[in-house]
Amino acid sequence: MRALLSVSDKTNLLDFARTLYYYNVELIASGGTARFLRQAGLPVTSVEQLTGLPEMLDGRVKTLHPMIFAGILARDTADDRADLARMNAQMIDLVVVNLYPFQKTVAQRFVTLRDAIEHIDIGGVALLRAAAKNFERVAVVCDPADYGLILNDLARHGSVSLETREVLALKAFAHTAAYDAAIRDYLMGLRSVDTPVVTLTLHKVQDLRYGENPHQQAAFFRLNGNGLGEPLGGQLLQGKPLSYNNLLDLDAAWRAVHRFEQPAVVVVKHLSPCAVACADELHRACAAALAADPVSAFGGVIAANQTIDAATVEAMGDLFIECIIAPDFAQDAQAHLAKRKNCRLLKATWTPNAMTYEYRSILGGMLRQTIDQGDPGDAAWRVVTQAQPSEADMRALRFAWKVCQYVHSNAVVLARAEADVLTTVGIGGGQPNRVDSVRLAIARAGERAKGAVLASDAFFPFPDGVEEAAKAGVRAIVQPGGAQRDAEVIAAADRAGLAMIFTGVRHFRH
């Protein structure tokens, strides 16, 4: 049995090679791998000795030679054996290759294009594909974690089983596909170009207990090798593993809380914000958010855009909270939270603006869109009513408009500005008509609707939503405008003495 080894990651390589030698496997190696094994006292045939040619082009060409690839691709047939004999070549039965670390290279802050290109592996990819193609005879290993599979088979059978070869071939093809996708993504990012074929490479990180319901299976996959091993690029500091539903809610809360520059807290329940608040101090924002809708907040998740301190934990009181996500947790805050039963803490440093696209599956395909990062830069707000919003109203309207972006359509948000605290007082969304969302937001706000402002993610198709808001005491409204009945809607606002702003921008969220 003959093995070709050419690796950049030498983790556990020496023990693996020694065991192969113990099982009478002849070792062939290229460049640095050969030197590494020889220094350890192992007999190694170099690729140069096998091919009769030295490395070329500063190492760009080492293994790309018929003696190597014929040995790998040869089938166990009389014709193929005769071809090998004519060129004085021998079969290679095991290929152990891992590739230049392209993903790690381009992840460096000041990497140059030249450095990136030099870390695009050519020969290694070709070796993996050749060995994987010929899995009926050849075993291929691209991950040091799989050395044990080879050694176990050798110990039990004296050879590598077909089942193991099939599994490792699939892994090798997946590995080269992900590698090519990483190169494409990097080069596309340099020129901001798109292609009609998109490869989404998903790396399985962990199985989840179940999906939305216990009878559904679920798992978390990392997208395109982005280096974020844990969900949301976070670190679970305490509590049980995150569930499928936890991850959905945490993602929604984390995206929303990053829309605010002030200290902010977002409470999410069943994938939609139920309360949001901003203040000059995080603990005051937390207290305001939880007071906005304490019933819905029970059993929800909380996101903060600043480090959770002890005062913020105190503001949470004894409310049952499933999960808390924040950039960090102060030591005393974490010590207090450790006493809470079943409260998960996720420290996350990855921000949503690091992503360009989001994807959703439908039957038979995928939908892709750029992420809604708020109003485009050329968006112009204009007052369309006789009444003008006050400065406090404008602060509350801008706050409510940001919140509205993360509520499921039809989305309606009631908010107030009191001193330095901005808070939602009623949220309605996910309804098949807009007037029901208005009524739902008003019902949740109760008396706090008087003097509040209202944001709507899309235009009011009829005056009824404005009329309901006016009856509840709403002072001002912000909405995109653009309906056929805009004139009637504006007239209804004027009759009620409401201020109304058109943004010209819609923020649907389905």
SS (H, E, C) 188-244: HHHHCCCCCCCCCCEEEEEEECCCCCCCCCEEEEEECCCCCCCHHHEEEEECCCCCH
pLDDT band at 454 (very low <50, low <70, confident <90, very high): very high
The average confidence (pLDDT) of the chain is 89
397 and 324 in a single domain? The answer is: no
Task: Give the three-class secondary structure for 469.
Answer: helix
41 and 108 in a single domain? The answer is: yes
187 and 300 in a single domain? The answer is: no
Please report whether residue 362 resides in a domain.
Answer: no
Please state which of the ranges 232-241, 267-276, 367-376, 456-465 shows the lowest mean pLDDT.
Answer: 232-241
CATH number of the domain enclosing 100: 3.40.50.1380
Please report whether residue 316 resides in a domain.
Answer: yes
316 and 414 in a single domain? The answer is: no
Residue pLDDT, tens place only, 264-293: 999 999 999 999 999 999 999 999 999 999
Among 153, 169, 191, give the residue marking a domain's end.
191
C-alpha separations of 149 from 73, 156, 167, 324, 362 in Å = 22, 11, 10, 40, 37
Higher pLDDT, 197 or 82: 82
Among 334, 353, 372, give the residue marking a domain's end.
353
468 and 402 in a single domain? The answer is: yes
Please report whether residue 50 resides in a domain.
Answer: yes
Please report whether residue 18 resides in a domain.
Answer: yes
CA distance 84 to 71: 7
pLDDT attached to residue 384: 97
Please report whether residue 187 resides in a domain.
Answer: yes
429 and 464 in a single domain? The answer is: yes
31 and 179 in a single domain? The answer is: yes
- Identify the domain containing residue 28 by its residue range: 2-191
208 and 154 in a single domain? The answer is: no
Q: How much is the average pLDDT of 254-263?
A: 94
CATH number of the domain enclosing 219: 3.40.140.20
425 and 484 in a single domain? The answer is: yes
127 and 250 in a single domain? The answer is: no
Please report whether residue 365 resides in a domain.
Answer: no
Q: Based on the structure, what is the number of domains in the chain?
A: 3
The dihedrals phi and psi of 343, each to the nearest 5 degrees, come to: -105, 115
157 and 206 in a single domain? The answer is: no
Please report whether residue 410 resides in a domain.
Answer: yes
Among 155, 172, 191, give the residue marking a domain's end.
191
Please report whether residue 79 resides in a domain.
Answer: yes
pTM attached to this predicted model: 0.78
Residue pLDDT, tens place only, 141-156: 999 999 999 999 999 8
Tell me which residues are annotated as active site: 133, 270
Give 410's DSSP letter. Answer: S
CA distance 194 to 188: 7
Q: Is the dihedral of CA 431, 436, 437, 441 positive or negative?
A: negative
286 and 326 in a single domain? The answer is: yes
